[in-house]
Amino acid sequence: MFIYAIRARTIKLFALVIFVLALIGCVVALGGGGTVIASASAGEVDYSGIKTNEDRVKFIESFGIKVEAEPIEEEAFAMPENFDRVILGYNELQKKQGLDLSKYSKKRVTRYTYRVTNYGSEGEVYANLFVWRGRIIGCDVSSADPEGFVAPLTLVDKANLK
């Protein structure tokens, strides 16, 4: 008989990898996401000073995206030391907005997911913030639809906002 124990930390890491894989799959399926209009250049965005839920909501809404007042999910995890192909692809998305997840390997990061209320597409749309010590180290807007999209939060296609 063979017995194998799985720690909760392992399950959370696996869930994160699956989530990021789904996001990258959406980007690849859409061929990069189409036309994106920059709402702020990376040099103008202040990613620091994010201590409270109010700070996180205010940051998201500064790009014209409206979200529900409370996150629908909050998850803390350790950023992997070695990035696989999926996370490297997601990091390329982050680099478009002046962020780089590779600087935070092995750091304890918290992901906050908010439901977007003013995005024009059919289905659920979410805003995700990855926060480390009061600083946003990654952020995106994504569709829950398998045929959906993932895009940098700071580079929002304003045509899709209601």
Report pLDDT digits (tens) over 41-83: 445 899 999 999 999 999 999 999 999 999 999 999 999 999 9
pLDDT of residue 21: 45
pLDDT of residue 139: 98
Cα 76 to its chain centre, rounded Å, is 13
C-beta separation of 155 from 38 below 8 A: yes
Higher pLDDT, 22 or 125: 125
Element (H, E) at 85: helix 85-95
Query: Hey, CA dihedral for 151, 153, 154, 157, is it positive or negative?
Result: positive
- Cβ-count burial of 152 within 10 angstroms (0-12 exposed, 13-18 middle, 19+ buried)? buried
User: What does the domain layout of the chain look like in residue ranges?
Assistant: 8-160
At 87-141, the pLDDT tens digits run 999 999 999 999 999 999 999 999 999 999 999 877 899 999 999 999 999 999 9
